[in-house]
Amino acid sequence: MELFGGVIPITGVSFFLFCVFSILFVGYALGRITIKGVSLGDAGVFIIALLFGALFCSPVATDLFTIQPIEFDNNWLSVIESFGLILFVTSVGFIAGPKFFANMKKNFKSYVLLGLIIILAGGLSALGCIMLGEHVIGYGADTIKDIDGFVAMIVGLLSGSLTSTPAFSAAKATVAPEYESLVSVGHGIAYIFGVVGVVLFVQLIPKLSKADMEAERAKIAVKQNESKTKKAMKLLHLDHMGVCVFSLAAILGTVFGKIKIPMSSQGLDGTCFSLTTTGGCLLVSLILGHFGRVGKVSLMPQESTLKLFRELGLVLFLVGAGIPGGADFVANFNGMYFVYGIIMTIIPMIIGFIFAKYVLKLPLLNNLGSITGGMTSTPALGTLISTAGTEDVAAAYAATYPIALIAVVLVSQFLVLMF
């Protein structure tokens, strides 16, 4: 590529990085647009990455513009995707770690159980869509000829419906290499409604139920218990930002995620289950975040570091996955897949809400906070905080989110291994 008539030539890696930063710039700008309190946020980056792949990297789409498709080295996309993934899931684990095990012990019958119910409902919805597509209405696209490709599309739709980057990655790592692009396409198709649907749900439910928000805030304020302040201890930090221990978690998580557990009589040569890099890094960082230190050596990165890595990792991952997904988007898109995505977003929310209200007897705001965690929807949590007028709803989100994150990774892998 040459800019300004060849005065500024940009080729190779420089051109690739130019495209990445362009996608980030336009994607963030799109995500910032707010209509009646609703915005796409980070989903804007993924949408622009998909559009970039569809318009500039797809032979089907670029025929319309009579231009040559851009061909990126797949290694570049793989590196940026994997790097972003490790940054994101490791940061999430460290942030959730200090509260995860305490909340799991204290609220297992409510927050944690609800997280499992929501993900299982999503998994069963996906399974129902697979059975429906296989036996009743067909796979839905001429380019998908077999059940393996259709399942790859469905698990991509599931990860998009639940806005779950780790499930997205785990599904891509589990399917055969030739079906990875279908996972990306499915994720992209369902992601938009996966974000907007949960955001609308947490705003509409209080209005439809005509909830007294002041009374609801009082209910969850009474149930908040202040934790005992721990005695301050001066810890040794290996570096002032915590990059060293973050790297340790990434190393251990990557190694742990590669461990394969045979699921057939053929041993390691047959079907195997593994946590992949996603589950491995998440689990290790949860444990390190829980303990926080070894002796006087700190195991926790700075909060500012974790927030930066989480955001940077998420958008880099979305760019790395979105470009190749967009390249196949035009060829594989089908309106029925969008309907499948809506089903896999709405059913888990409704089942989760009813279960929390009538079985667990949770107050409305705790109920909705758990829904945002169970659906792994950070944008919806921000909306709920604004709607509820209190930060206390984040406690339910923090308790439900980690177990839902792990559960959706496992459910996605099991769906692939079933067929």
- Using alpha carbons, list the distances in angstroms from residue 339 to 139, 157, 182, 346: 13, 10, 16, 11
Contacting residues for 104 by C-beta, under 8 A, at least 6 apart? 112, 399, 403
pLDDT at position 382: 73
Determine the 3-state secondary structure of 236 from DSSP: strand
Determine the 3-state secondary structure of 8 from DSSP: strand
- Exposure string (b/e) for 106-121, b if CB count within 10 Å is 16 or more? ebeebbbbbbbbbbbb
pLDDT at position 195: 80
- Exposure string (b/e) for 5-21, b if CB count within 10 Å is 16 or more? eeeeeeeeeeebeebbe
∠322-323-328 over CA atoms, to 5°? 95
pLDDT at position 15: 86
pLDDT at position 138: 63
On whether the CB atoms of residues 288 and 94 are closer than 8 A, the answer is yes
Give the tokens for residue 65. 């513009």
Q: What is the mean pLDDT of residues 385-397?
A: 79
Q: What is the per-residue pLDDT across 72-113, written as a single tens digit (0 to 9) for each?
A: 777 888 889 889 989 988 988 888 788 777 766 766 778 888
Q: How far apart are CA 208 and CA 18, in angstroms?
A: 47
What percent of the chain lies above the pLDDT cut of 90?
25
pLDDT at position 26: 96
Most confident of 13-22, 193-202, 212-221, 272-281: 13-22
Q: What is the per-residue pLDDT across 325-369, written as a single tens digit (0 to 9) for each?
A: 777 666 666 788 889 999 999 999 999 999 999 999 888 998 998
- Exposure string (b/e) for 237-246, b if CB count within 10 Å is 16 or more? beeebbeebb
Q: What is the mean pLDDT of residues 175-182?
A: 85
Q: How far is CA 418 from the centre of its chain?
A: 22
Give the tokens for residue 293. 């230190």
Q: Is the dihedral of CA 118, 124, 125, 127 positive or negative?
A: positive
Q: Determine phi and psi for 279, rounding to 5 degrees.
A: -65, -35
pLDDT mean across residues, the chain: 82
Which of 115-119, 276-280, 319-323, 354-358 has the lowest average pLDDT? 276-280
Helices 147-161, 165-174: crossing angle, 10 deg rounding: 170
pLDDT at position 228: 41
Q: How confident is the model at residue 229 (pLDDT cuts 50, 70, 90)?
A: very low
On whether the CB atoms of residues 212 and 359 are closer than 8 A, the answer is no
∠361-212-357 over CA atoms, to 5°? 15
What percent of the chain lies above the pLDDT cut of 70?
83
pLDDT at position 249: 96
pLDDT at position 265: 64
Give the tokens for residue 233. 């201890």
Determine the 3-state secondary structure of 293 from DSSP: strand
Which of 244-248, 301-305, 330-334, 398-402 has the lowest average pLDDT? 330-334
**pTM, rounded to two decimals:** 0.73
On whether the CB atoms of residues 42 and 318 are closer than 8 A, the answer is yes
Q: What is the mean pLDDT of residues 188-198?
A: 83
Q: Which residue has the higher pLDDT, 102 or 294?
A: 294
On whether the CB atoms of residues 408 and 376 are closer than 8 A, the answer is yes
Cβ count within 10 A of residue 182 = 28
The yes-or-no verdict on residue 7 having pLDDT over 80 is no
pLDDT at position 386: 77
pLDDT at position 50: 83
Q: Which of these, 384, 418, 416, 419, lies nearest to 159 by C-alpha position? A: 416
pLDDT at position 88: 86
Cβ count within 10 A of residue 259 = 11
